[in-house]
């Protein structure tokens, strides 16, 4: 995965998209994702902000009001996004701050878990339960934007329990609801859920690196 990301082309397309989408609503923290940081990460972030907000909102609504949405459709939309994002990162690994190969693997594991909900439509609500973590991912992206409000950092920290309390619980939850599944299917689903928990630890507590000014900075942020 030694491909080089030419940020100039992706930025031209995504800068216009982000500015048009958010400038009229006067969300400067969103717009700054494209303006002062002409990089692959900035372009990828600009794409992810509206998409993650949409998916996280659908998941929250799906849990609060299951009849308000077609949860099977939510699963397919989520799977389409994860597949597209995995391809983006595979082709342009510099689109993420670090460990692009690990992020791609994470996305493939997520697809494996989503496929379980596709094979069992009655479990589409599980997509929403897992998808709540995208709120934390959204705030992670927003807080690293140049000039970002401190509110995003607060929101990020307040939603960390989704990664370290809620998702570990879902491992036990999946163990219970998959008792009648084929053995291999059950193993894949539970292993995928365990991997997501392990990825959360890697994402948040990954090794630090030193920036040019000598300060330590988490590579994930």
1 located within any domain: no
What integer is the mean pLDDT of 87-114? 95
What integer is the mean pLDDT of 72-92? 97
pLDDT value of residue 21: 42
113 located within any domain: yes
Query: 178 or 33: whose pLDDT is higher?
Result: 178
Q: Is 27's pLDDT higher than 80?
A: no
**Worst-scoring range by mean pLDDT, 42-51, 110-119, 160-169, 211-220?**
211-220
Q: What is the pLDDT of residues 203-219, one digit of tens each?
A: 999 864 433 334 445 54
What's the token pair of residue 166?
């809620």
Q: Which domain range does residue 42 map to?
A: 7-218
2 located within any domain: no
What integer is the mean pLDDT of 72-86? 98
What integer is the mean pLDDT of 34-55? 81
pLDDT value of residue 68: 95
Backbone angles phi and psi of 193, in degrees to 5: -65, -40
Contact present, 133 and 143 (Cβ < 8 Å): no
15 located within any domain: yes
Q: Is 197's pLDDT higher than 90?
A: yes
38 located within any domain: yes
120 located within any domain: yes
110 located within any domain: yes
Q: Is 13's pLDDT higher than 60?
A: no
57 located within any domain: yes
pLDDT value of residue 31: 41
Computed over every residue of the chain, the mean pLDDT equals 84
Q: What share of the chain has pLDDT > 70, as a percent? A: 76
For the chain, how many residues are written? 221
pLDDT value of residue 15: 55
Backbone angles phi and psi of 148, in degrees to 5: -65, 145
Domain count, the chain: 1
């Amino acid at each position: 995965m030694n491909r080089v990301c030419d940020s100039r082309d992706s930025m031209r397309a995504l800068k216009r998209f982000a500015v048009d989408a958010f400038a009229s609503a006067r969300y400067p923290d969103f717009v700054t994702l494209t303006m002062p940081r002409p990089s692959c990460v900035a372009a990828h972030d600009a794409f992810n902000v509206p998409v993650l907000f949409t998916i996280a909102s659908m998941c929250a609504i799906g849990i609060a009001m299951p009849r308000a949405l077609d949860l099977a459709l939510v699963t397919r939309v989520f799977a389409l996004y994860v597949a597209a994002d995995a391809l983006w990162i595979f082709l342009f690994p510099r689109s993420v701050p670090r460990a692009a190969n690990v992020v791609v693997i994470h996305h493939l594991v997520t697809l494996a878990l989503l496929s379980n909900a596709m094979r069992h439509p009655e479990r589409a609500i599980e997509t929403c339960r897992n998808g709540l973590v995208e709120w934390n991912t959204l705030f992670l992206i927003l807080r690293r934007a140049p000039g970002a409000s401190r509110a995003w950092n607060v929101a990020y920290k307040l939603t960390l329990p989704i990664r370290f309390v809620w998702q570990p619980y879902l491992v036990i939850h999946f163990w219970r609801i998959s008792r009648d599944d084929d053995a291999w299917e059950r193993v894949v689903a539970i292993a995928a859920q365990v991997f997501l928990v392990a990825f959360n630890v890697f994402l948040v507590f990954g090794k630090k690196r030193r920036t040019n000014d000598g300060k330590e900075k988490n590579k994930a942020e």
